[in-house]
A and B are shown apart, each in its own frame.
Chain A
Amino acid sequence: MLSSKPPFKIIVPGRTYRCDSDQTHAPMFHQLEGLHIDKGITMGHLKGCLDYFIKEFFEVKNVKMRFRPSHFPFTEPSAEVDIGYKVEKGKIVIGEGDKWLEILGCGMVHPNVLKNVKIDPKKYQGFAFGIGIDRLAMLKYGINDLRAFFEADYRWLSHYGFDPLDVPTNYRGLSK
């Protein structure tokens, strides 16, 4: 952001680390960070963007989504997003039902963040979000243990693996 000028539309996947290890926490996981800075970008845009993403990712027409106030030091206001789900015959069905599942954190970029990268927060504003990719994959494919992603078990890889040429696209679908 220091080396360029708004508008910014950035999406960054990458390895992230923490000192934690259990069924749903791994010492390394993948985070997808998104940032959109421009004139007049509001929380409405944030909601629209995430709604679009969730529908495309889970390949459902409608998804029940809940923005819940939360706190992150770099966004203000901040929210966590839950999506509705239900359990049917032992399988998670995303998008409907009366249970909530937390999937990501987001908010409007804090003015101090913009000031730090020499952007005038009076002129520009925008949103940011962060999603755990591994957790989303667990939900989509019904995988119980996060650690299995990193254990390189040949049997697990054969079971969940994709064809080498199975490139996900919006027009053909993201999964078979």
Chain B
Amino acid sequence: MIITIPWLKEHLKTTAKESEIINQLTNIGLEVEGLKENPGEMGKFKIAKVLKAEKHPNADKLKVCDVTIGGKEILKVVCGAPNAREGLITIYAPPGAIIPKTNFKLKVAKIRGVESKGMLCSENELNLSSESEGIIELKNKEKEIGKSYFKSKSQKAIDISITPNRADCLGIKGIARDLSSTGIGKLIQTKRKKIKQNIKHQIKTSIIKEKNQGCVSFGSCYIKNITNKESPEWLKNKLITLGLKPISAVVDITNYIMFDLNRPLHAYDADKINKEIIVRNAKEGEIFEALDNKKYKLKKDMCVISDKSGVLGLGGIIGGTTTSTELETKNILIEAAYFYPSSIRKTARGLNINTDAKYRFERGIDPNSIKEGLELATELILKICGGEASKFQITGKTNPKNRIIDFQVEKFEKLIGISITANEVDKILSSLGFKCKKSQKTIKVEVPSWRPDVSLDEDLIEELIRIKGFNNIKLIEPSKNRIQETLNFKQKLFHLSQRSLASKGYMEIVTWSFTDSKIDKQFSKGEKEIPIFNPISSDLDILRRSIFSNLAINLKKNQDRGYEDLSLFEIGPTFFGKNPGEQQIVLGGIKCGKINRKSWLDKERNVDVFDIKSDAIKTLIELGIEEKNLFVSDNTKHSYHPGRSGSITLKSEKGPHLAYFGEIHPAIIKNLDCKDKNIFGFEIFLKNIPEPNKKLRQSKKSFLASDYQKSERDFAFVIDKIFKIGVLEKIIREVDDNLIQNVSTFDVYEGENIPKDKKSVAINVTLQAIDKTLTENDLDEISKKIIDIVNKKTGATIRS
């Protein structure tokens, strides 16, 4: 909503300075978003004539125009508009002018090698309309070449952001009323002159009673024998400061009243109306050509204003071409109606139309403003265009009853924390147009018809505190008693995972929850795709099913920036359905490149599957799972290299699935077109990490260390090739829990001297007793036991 101080002062008697007014506006919730200071600026736009328009030597779609603004100088201007042609009269912006639409300051610039002094403007660029096809074409302005197009003494335009509940402030009078309640000035009550209304209303109007009728009341005035013309300067200037294009007196007057009183009106050429006005629901498929020159196919339940021949306008949204007023129009019908906001909203959304009238009706204008709007419109039309007016004809429901709220004053203190007196309540609310009647315990507050947003005590409290001032509320220090643990187990896991991965040299990234379906498809074969209804761009078109999609995209981007050794992780949701809750938190890591690249100290080598396996396992341990409970298997899925990947489950192969790890499948890497193809990753499923039922201090055994020497023995088993080494180690460890301290594999051999379906696994076992040094006998005994048990359980033999 744009206002100017002089216009505001037509409704507000005040001596306050502009800066005070701006401050107060923001303080009472009418936030000033910006000030458009344009004194003198708009004067720079000149009426100009194109003398010659030739094709640009270096660009097909551009023209080089010779432009005159009256003097001897011929200005060379490069222009891209298709309608730039010889003889056209248009608007020229010289270097230094600021284009209202873009706030861009023009400079002399070379465009494709040709110097352009300024530019020729479209209506859109001057904020006159949304018309951006081509430059403005002026008619009958030959004599005014060289003159400024905007003659207004430009005024500071104050741009106010109006919250959706404050429909009443979409007119300048409403803003003045709000300001008056702060004490900054007094609302001026304009007394209307009595207008002569002698002639007969020529057009019957009716609202059809039917289901979902969107129109509540329809008021109109018939005015005959007018002389429609260009508006007087004062009126044109007002519209231009608001960024509107003056059209003709009749149209300008209706627009002016809409912005002044928040009372949208519409003017019909009465001679083009076929007999009578009928407000009804549209028929399915009915065609209507609106003033924006577009044809709309209507649906039933859309409220239309029609006559005997068809649709004349979409009630409260936009008028139609068939009955539009022109300069030649003699007899008019002025409409002031009230429509249900929900009906307006539905129709406008259905047809995707946005107009100033629709914006006001859908938020809820004052249903009681029909008469006032018609009065002012008639008065102005008779004054500017002459003619004779009829009495007003208002059909439908009028004068709806105002709401009454029984307001308890002490409720204010209960909610806000500071007190207010009944007198203060009366004063503030009355200044906002509420009527207050004090009784013993409560105040009976009558809500004015222009405040559809106020219906509860809390709404009144908001009115009171916003005028009284939020800065008067005393702040109360928060009490810091904690009733529960701040974070639950899953939340703690989240943060622990971040620290754990970061400490392993991974960088944390946060990426969109959505991703490119082409990439996601590769990581999530067979899972249902979840498309986004209204994606921000076509490469962010679905919710990610795999944590790898964005990790891989960003890994590649960094590779393309020249970074080769990368470790990235993200912890965030992946989705398996579109309903709330159909998502899980996954910790994903991805790694590529080399270890010790170009190091003088160590030998460089490629990142390999054991690196990623180790990162996954260490992280799981740090997340609270004991290493012995991690069951590693070679179960894998399609997005990993089938031979260089695996799974980690809890305790057994069938236990909860904790993680996948491995090399990313070469086919995917190839599709991604990654520079370095040596890429590994892991996924940890946090939901499957068990919450320990005992605290660490309870589950730890007491510490017992042996003072006796430890011994080591190496074994080489010849075992089935497919047998998992992890299982073998576990079997050995379980042979004697007390003596065996550690089991580790140091060599695996396949080939010569070993049967084809077997492998040789060399294992080191550390042995130590708590009560004595183990003798050679003891060691032989336990070694034999290990060999026997392994043989019994796996069929492995000792390699000879």
Contacts and interface: CB of A to CB of B under 8 A. Distances in A.
Interface of A: 7, 9, 15, 17, 19-21, 27-28, 40, 42-45, 47-49, 51-52, 66-71, 76-80, 108, 110-111, 125, 149-155, 157-158, 161-165, 167
9 contacts: A15-B573, A27-B514, A43-B470, A44-B417, A48-B477, A76-B456, A108-B458, A125-B415, A155-B561
B536 A27 contact: yes
Contacts of A28: 512-514
A51 B478 CA distance: 10
B717 to A, nearest CB: 40
Given A27-B540, A42-B476, A71-B29, A150 B511 contact: yes
A164 B475 contact: no
Nearest to B512: A28
B166 A167 contact: no
A8 to B, nearest CB: 10
B757 to A, nearest CB: 46
B601 interface: no
A80 B418 CA distance: 19
Given A15-B572, A108-B458, A161 B507 contact: yes
Contact of B31 (A17, A70, A111, A163): A70
A17 B534 CA distance: 11
Contacts of B26: 68
Nearest to B465: A77
B512 A27 contact: yes
Given A15-B573, A19-B536, A77-B462, A108 B471 contact: no
A150 B536 CA distance: 14
Given A68-B27, A152-B558, A52 B478 contact: yes
Contacts of B566: 154
A68 B29 contact: yes
A160 B536 CA distance: 27
A155 to B, nearest CB: 8
A157 B573 contact: no
Interface string B146-173: 0000000000000000011110000000
Please give me the 6 A-B residue pairs with the lowest Cβ-Cβ distance, nearest first.
A69-B29, A44-B417, A42-B417, A164-B502, A71-B163, A67-B470
B561 A68 contact: no
B510 interface: yes
A15 to B, nearest CB: 6
Contacts of B536: 19-21, 27
Contacts of A158: 507
B668 interface: no
A4 B758 CA distance: 61
A77 B475 contact: no
Contacts of A167: 499
B466 interface: yes
B16 interface: no
B22 interface: no
B414 interface: yes
B557 interface: yes
B489 interface: no
A161 B514 CA distance: 24
Nearest to A107: B462
A68 B31 contact: yes
A48 B478 contact: yes
A153 B561 contact: yes
Given A43-B416, A68-B26, A150-B512, A48 B554 contact: no
